[in-house]
């Protein structure tokens, strides 16, 4: 499978780079994970948006959903050329108005996922786990069925132990690393050190830091994650439209 980073900031876009959004492709299936601010512009550079097979949203904070509306208009205003008639958008059902907003006549249809069920989406098997965040948010463990390879994505969360089992032995772990280690006070995101520690405990092969801060030196962020990840794990921060083959 191949992951393409469409946006990686937390909170708001900055200097032409958008917020959380990733394209995951396997066997011709195109899954959009989160659809933050700037996602559609970035997606247009790498894939005709009408060729999407599905969208899945980790939660309904705007830095993960801001471009859902314009994606819906895009599908509505291009009645020809859809890979399928209606684009399914998967989200949780704990905020009914937000879930309902994923429906758009002639364009998209809302589907609820649940932590109690494995979601089968094309070539992927997706497990979800509730994270610790001010609103309901869900980490994803995405397995490519044919190869058994796993991409784990923490979504937005502070650190808690269940993240380790959930991410276990993933080929690639994407972590919400919005903070440097010196962050004090309430944290609803991981620090770089916590991301590295999680990667080490979960025995993943590769750690990519995302949901990045707009201010601060990203080399320092990576160095802080490497300290706790250990030397066996490849640690980097994501880059715009970076392609990662898993
Ligand atoms: Zn966020
Ligand atoms: Zn959030």
Q: pLDDT per residue over 39-96, tens digit each?
A: 999 999 999 999 999 999 999 999 999 999 999 999 999 988 888 999 999 999 999 9
pLDDT of residue 36: 98
Integer CA distances (angstroms), 136 to 12, 17, 91, 129, 181, in order: 20, 26, 10, 10, 25
pLDDT of residue 74: 97
183 token code pair? 């962050």
Q: pLDDT tens digit string along 170-221?
A: 999 999 999 999 999 889 999 999 999 999 999 999 999 999 999 999 999 9
Question: 159: pLDDT confidence band, cut at 50, 70 and 90?
Answer: very high
CB 219 within 8 A of CB 237: no
pLDDT of residue 234: 96
What separation in Å is there between the alpha carbon of 191 and the centre of ligand 1? Answer: 14
The neighbouring-strand residues paired with 237 are 209
Q: Which ligand is nearest to the CA of 137?
A: 2
Q: pLDDT tens digit string along 106-128?
A: 999 999 999 999 999 999 999 99
What separation in Å is there between the alpha carbon of 81 and the centre of ligand 2? Answer: 33
Q: Stretch 143-148: mean pLDDT, rounded?
A: 98
Q: Which ligand is nearest to the CA of 212?
A: 1
What separation in Å is there between the alpha carbon of 63 and the centre of ligand 2? Answer: 7
What separation in Å is there between the alpha carbon of 81 and the centre of ligand 1? Answer: 32
Find the DSSP H helices in 128-184.
162-167
pLDDT of residue 87: 98
Query: Crossing angle, helix 192-202 and helix 218-229, to 10 degrees?
Result: 30
What separation in Å is there between the alpha carbon of 63 and the centre of ligand 1? Answer: 5
Number of domains the chain is built from: 1
Q: Which ligand is nearest to the CA of 11?
A: 1
168 DSSP 8-state letter? T
Q: Which ligand is nearest to the CA of 178?
A: 1
Q: Stretch 6-28: mean pLDDT, rounded?
A: 98
Question: Which residue range is the domain that position 69 belongs to?
Answer: 2-245
What separation in Å is there between the alpha carbon of 211 and the centre of ligand 1? Answer: 7
pLDDT of residue 26: 98
What separation in Å is there between the alpha carbon of 161 and the centre of ligand 1? Answer: 20
The string of DSSP letters for 52-97 reads: --EEE-S---HHHHTTHHHHHHHHHH--SS-SSSSEEEEE-SSSHH
pLDDT of residue 167: 98
Percentage helix, strand, coil for the chain under 3-state DSSP, each rounded to 5: 25, 35, 45
Domain of residue 187, CATH code: 3.60.15.10
What separation in Å is there between the alpha carbon of 20 and the centre of ligand 1? Answer: 7
Q: Which ligand is nearest to the CA of 210?
A: 1
pLDDT of residue 186: 87
Could you give the 3-state DSSP secondary structure of residue 246? Answer: coil
pLDDT of residue 244: 96
Q: Which ligand is nearest to the CA of 60?
A: 2
């Amino acid at each position: 499978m191949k992951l393409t980073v469409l946006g990686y900031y937390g909170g708001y876009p900055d200097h032409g780079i958008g917020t959380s959004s990733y394209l995951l492709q396997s066997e011709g299936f195109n899954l959009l994970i989160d659809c933050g601010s700037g996602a559609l512009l970035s997606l247009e550079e790498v894939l005709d948006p009408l060729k999407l097979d599905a969208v899945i949203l980790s939660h309904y904070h705007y830095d993960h959903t801001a471009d859902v509306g314009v994606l819906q208009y895009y599908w509505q205003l291009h009645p020809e050329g859809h890979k399928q008639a209606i684009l399914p958008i998967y989200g949780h059902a704990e905020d009914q108005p937000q879930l309902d907003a994923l429906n758009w006549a002639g364009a998209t249809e809302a589907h609820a996922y649940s932590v109690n069920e494995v979601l089968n989406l094309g070539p992927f098997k997706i497990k979800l786990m509730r994270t610790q965040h001010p609103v309901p948010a869900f980490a994803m463990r995405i397995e490519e069925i044919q190869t058994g390879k796993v991409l784990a994505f923490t979504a937005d969360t502070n650190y808690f132990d269940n993240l380790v089992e959930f991410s276990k032995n993933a080929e690639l772990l994407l972590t919400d690393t919005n903070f440097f280690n010196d962050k004090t006070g309430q944290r609803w995101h991981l620090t770089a050190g916590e991301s590295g520690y999680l990667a080490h405990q979960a025995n993943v092969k590769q750690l990519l830091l995302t949901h990045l801060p707009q201010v601060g030196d990203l080399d320092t962020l990576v160095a802080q994650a490497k300290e706790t990840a250990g030397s066996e794990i490849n640690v980097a921060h994501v880059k715009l439209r970076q392609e990662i083959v898993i």
